[in-house]
Amino acid sequence: MPNTPSLTPPASPALPLPSPAAGHAEGVSNEEFRAAMSRLASGVVLVTAQEPPLDPDDPQAPAGEDVGMTATAFMSVSLDPPLVLVSLREGSRMDDLLDEQPLWAVSVLSESQRHIAGRFAMKGRVSDRLLFADLSCLRGEASGAPLVGGALATLECRTEQRVPAGDHTLVIGRVLTASLPSADGGPLAYFKGRYRQLG
């Protein structure tokens, strides 16, 4: 009987792995990655949601507190169906809230709303109730979340998917409503660690 060639390919020699940078097997440090990403200009939005009622079974129970968070990692994902994505730090108040509350909203901030972005980006800040106290907002009909007056655009969303990604959670939402409250002014941008405006 004739010999037939083996179907198993010969083992290839092991290739040496690159030496990792401190803390990352992929070879990039936190500082290098942060510096590179700071060169990517992005828009600035305010993500908002309303906590569920304290007692969902009691229609007379007071509604939960409004919660807001400044975000620069926000993007459009799909036109059909209309989907958007926001990246939230794992374990943050907004991440925990959107894990139980599927309805949320986004206000695309204008260049004149830098103070709003700064207010909701503070660490160790006061309660969200105080942050919203003097802010001009409308209540979203689909989400119940605050929509910032004078924003360039507002979107109300329902979570479709949550994807763990490293130390963040990617929340993908279906857009339920979209409106353009203000046509004036340019967008608020974030570049090299600072809020900027175009032009």
- The domain limits of the chain are 30-55+64-197
Bridge partner list, 170 = 87, 163
The pLDDT value recorded for residue 21 is: 45
The pLDDT value recorded for residue 167 is: 93
Q: How far apart are the first and last CA of the chain?
A: 81
pLDDT in tens, 96-141: 999 999 999 999 999 999 999 999 998 766 688 889 988 999 999 9
d(Cα 150, Cα 112) in Å, to the nearest integer? 9
d(Cα 95, Cα 166) in Å, to the nearest integer? 14
Burial of residue 116 (CB within 10 Å: 0-12, 13-18, 19+) is buried
d(Cα 134, Cα 115) in Å, to the nearest integer? 12
Which residues of the chain have a pLDDT value below 50? 1-13, 15, 17-22
Bridge partner list, 113 = none
Residue pointed to by tokens 């949601």: 49
The pLDDT value recorded for residue 7 is: 47
Residue 53 in contact with residue 101, Cβ under 8 Å? Answer: no
- Of 137, 175, 139, 173, residue with least CA distance to 156: 175
The fold for domain 30-55+64-197 equals Pnp Oxidase; Chain A (2.30.110)
The pLDDT value recorded for residue 86 is: 97
d(Cα 113, Cα 53) in Å, to the nearest integer? 30
How many Cα atoms are found within 13 Å in the side-chain-facing hemisphere of 173? 29
Structure tokens at 108: 């695309």
Residue 162 in contact with residue 171, Cβ under 8 Å? Answer: yes
d(Cα 96, Cα 127) in Å, to the nearest integer? 16
The pLDDT value recorded for residue 9 is: 45
Report the predicted TM-score, pTM, of the whole model to 2 decimal places.
Answer: 0.80
3-state secondary structure of 195: strand
The pLDDT value recorded for residue 25 is: 59
* Amino acid identity at 149: G
Residue 46 in contact with residue 117, Cβ under 8 Å? Answer: yes
